[in-house]
């Protein structure tokens, strides 16, 4: 039976075999898994982990981050405005900046807490009514607002492609948008489609079940 480390190393090897043009960061999506289950990967030297709920992340990672300053924590889920202060305290990256009110709150709290997080703008590239994200036709204005008006450090763009559709075309479209803004990083790709995402320019992939196994 393969271990977490075996599966992680297999993914690392697969990514290296793709010969990406830029380094690819694997975000091990540890949401719902207890710290004891994740610990072997931390002890193995991996440092980037993803969570989608602020309260769960606080209880799981607060002490661990004090003990290990190499840990980089990524907020990959929708962030509610009433959780922003706690998120800014704990996380190093926010992948889901998807509206101006949230962006303003993030800017305010990181200044108050003397933090400088790294951010991705979530784009609703499929124009899905039920999905969060900045519409493509509003992206230029929102990006310029974030960097020029409220001083957010925007690393790049992020998408979650529509289900049951060809993800690759959405990845390629986001890459073009990213380049048009002069950005260097892309957050896209999960366990099922990270190969296509990397081949389309992704530099941050969010991989959970392929490392940790299925969630109960």
Spell out the per-residue pLDDT of the chain, length 216, in tens: 579 999 999 999 999 999 999 999 999 999 999 999 999 999 999 999 999 999 999 999 999 999 999 999 999 999 999 999 999 999 999 999 999 999 999 999 999 999 999 999 999 986 766 578 999 999 999 999 999 999 999 999 999 988 878 899 999 999 999 999 999 999 999 999 999 999 999 999 999 999 998 765
Domain assignment of residue 63, yes or no: yes
Domain assignment of residue 85, yes or no: yes
Q: Residue 152, CB half-sphere, CA atoms under 13 Å: how many?
A: 28
Domain assignment of residue 188, yes or no: yes
**What CATH number is associated with residue 36?**
3.20.20.10
Domain assignment of residue 189, yes or no: yes
pLDDT in tens, 81-135: 999 999 999 999 999 999 999 999 999 999 999 999 999 999 998 676 657 899 9
How many domains, in total, are found in the chain? Answer: 1
Q: Tokens standing for 152?
A: 């957010």
Q: Sort residue 114 into left (φ over 0), alpha (ψ -120 to 50) or beta.
A: left
**Residue 75 near residue 54, CB atoms below 8 Å:** yes
Q: Residue 139, CB half-sphere, CA atoms under 13 Å: how many?
A: 25
26: containing domain = 4-211
Transcribe 84-103 into DSSP letters. HHHHHHH-SEEEEE-SHHHH
Domain assignment of residue 216, yes or no: no
**Residue 77 near residue 100, CB atoms below 8 Å:** no
**Residue 152 near residue 116, CB atoms below 8 Å:** no
Domain assignment of residue 13, yes or no: yes
Domain assignment of residue 75, yes or no: yes
């Amino acid at each position: 039976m393969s271990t977490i480390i075996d599966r992680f190393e297999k993914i690392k090897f697969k990514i290296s075999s793709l010969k990406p043009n830029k380094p690819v960061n694997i975000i091990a999506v540890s949401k719902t898994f207890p710290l004891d289950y994740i610990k072997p990967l931390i002890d193995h030297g991996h440092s980037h982990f993803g969570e989608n709920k602020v309260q769960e992340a606080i209880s799981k990672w607060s002490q661990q981050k004090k003990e290990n300053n190499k840990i980089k924590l990524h907020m990959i889920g929708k962030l509610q405005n009433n959780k922003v202060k706690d998120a800014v305290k704990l996380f190093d990256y926010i992948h889901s900046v998807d509206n101006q009110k949230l962006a303003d709150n993030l800017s305010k709290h990181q200044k108050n807490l003397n933090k400088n997080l790294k951010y991705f703008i979530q784009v609703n590239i499929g124009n899905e009514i039920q999905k969060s994200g900045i519409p493509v036709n509003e992206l230029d204005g929102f990006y310029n607002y974030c960097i020029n008006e409220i001083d957010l450090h925007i690393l790049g763009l992020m998408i979650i492609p529509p289900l049951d559709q060809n993800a690759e075309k959405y990845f390629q479209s986001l890459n073009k948008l990213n380049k048009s803004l002069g950005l260097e990083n892309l957050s896209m790709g999960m366990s099922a489609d990270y190969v296509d995402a990397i081949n389309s320019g992704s530099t941050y992939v969010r991989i959970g079940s392929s490392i940790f196994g299925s969630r109960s």
